[in-house]
Amino acid sequence: MKEIEKKVHEVLHNVNWLLEAHNSFAELISIRGKKVIIKCVGHCADCESDCVRVAFRERMPDIYLVLQ
Protein backbone atom coordinates (compact mmCIF):
# COMPACT_ATOMS: atom_id res chain seq x y z
CA MET A 1 0.00 0.00 0.00
CA LYS A 2 1.35 3.41 -0.93
CA GLU A 3 2.09 5.87 1.87
CA ILE A 4 -0.62 8.33 0.78
CA GLU A 5 -3.21 5.54 0.69
CA LYS A 6 -2.17 4.38 4.15
CA LYS A 7 -2.57 7.91 5.54
CA VAL A 8 -5.97 8.34 3.87
CA HIS A 9 -7.21 5.12 5.48
CA GLU A 10 -5.90 6.26 8.87
CA VAL A 11 -7.75 9.58 8.61
CA LEU A 12 -10.94 7.83 7.49
CA HIS A 13 -10.70 5.37 10.36
CA ASN A 14 -10.33 8.22 12.85
CA VAL A 15 -13.16 10.32 11.42
CA ASN A 16 -15.62 7.48 10.83
CA TRP A 17 -16.01 6.68 14.51
CA LEU A 18 -17.33 10.24 14.94
CA LEU A 19 -19.61 9.98 11.92
CA GLU A 20 -21.10 6.68 13.13
CA ALA A 21 -22.82 8.56 15.95
CA HIS A 22 -24.82 10.36 13.25
CA ASN A 23 -25.53 7.25 11.15
CA SER A 24 -22.98 8.42 8.59
CA PHE A 25 -19.63 7.40 7.17
CA ALA A 26 -16.97 8.47 4.69
CA GLU A 27 -15.30 6.17 2.18
CA LEU A 28 -12.42 6.38 -0.23
CA ILE A 29 -13.44 6.53 -3.89
CA SER A 30 -10.03 7.04 -5.50
CA ILE A 31 -6.55 8.46 -5.22
CA ARG A 32 -4.91 10.00 -8.28
CA GLY A 33 -1.57 11.49 -7.42
CA LYS A 34 -2.35 14.02 -4.69
CA LYS A 35 -6.06 14.17 -5.54
CA VAL A 36 -8.14 12.20 -3.03
CA ILE A 37 -11.84 11.64 -3.66
CA ILE A 38 -13.99 10.79 -0.64
CA LYS A 39 -17.70 10.04 -0.57
CA CYS A 40 -19.70 11.07 2.50
CA VAL A 41 -22.86 9.07 3.17
CA GLY A 42 -25.69 9.76 5.60
CA HIS A 43 -26.66 12.84 7.55
CA CYS A 44 -23.11 14.17 7.60
CA ALA A 45 -22.98 14.44 3.81
CA ASP A 46 -24.78 17.79 4.04
CA CYS A 47 -23.44 18.89 7.42
CA GLU A 48 -22.06 22.41 7.75
CA SER A 49 -19.34 21.46 10.26
CA ASP A 50 -17.28 19.81 7.50
CA CYS A 51 -15.56 17.32 9.87
CA VAL A 52 -14.11 15.22 7.07
CA ARG A 53 -12.46 18.14 5.29
CA VAL A 54 -11.08 19.48 8.59
CA ALA A 55 -9.64 16.06 9.51
CA PHE A 56 -7.87 15.76 6.17
CA ARG A 57 -6.64 19.37 6.22
CA GLU A 58 -5.05 18.79 9.65
CA ARG A 59 -3.46 15.41 8.85
CA MET A 60 -2.75 15.73 5.11
CA PRO A 61 -2.52 19.42 4.16
CA ASP A 62 -0.64 18.72 0.93
CA ILE A 63 -3.44 16.80 -0.81
CA TYR A 64 -6.30 18.09 -2.97
CA LEU A 65 -9.47 16.71 -1.35
CA VAL A 66 -12.71 16.26 -3.27
CA LEU A 67 -15.83 15.40 -1.26
CA GLN A 68 -18.81 13.81 -2.95
Whether the pLDDT of residue 1 is over 80: the answer is: no
CATH code, residues 3-67: 3.30.300.130
**Domain boundaries along the sequence of the chain:** 3-67
Q: State the DSSP string of 45-66.
A: GG-SS-HHHHHHHHH-TTSEEE
SS3 38: strand
Q: What's the sign of the alpha-carbon dihedral 4, 9, 12, 13?
A: negative
Report pLDDT digits (tens) over 31-58: 999 999 999 999 888 888 889 999 999 9
Residue 49: its pLDDT value, please? 84
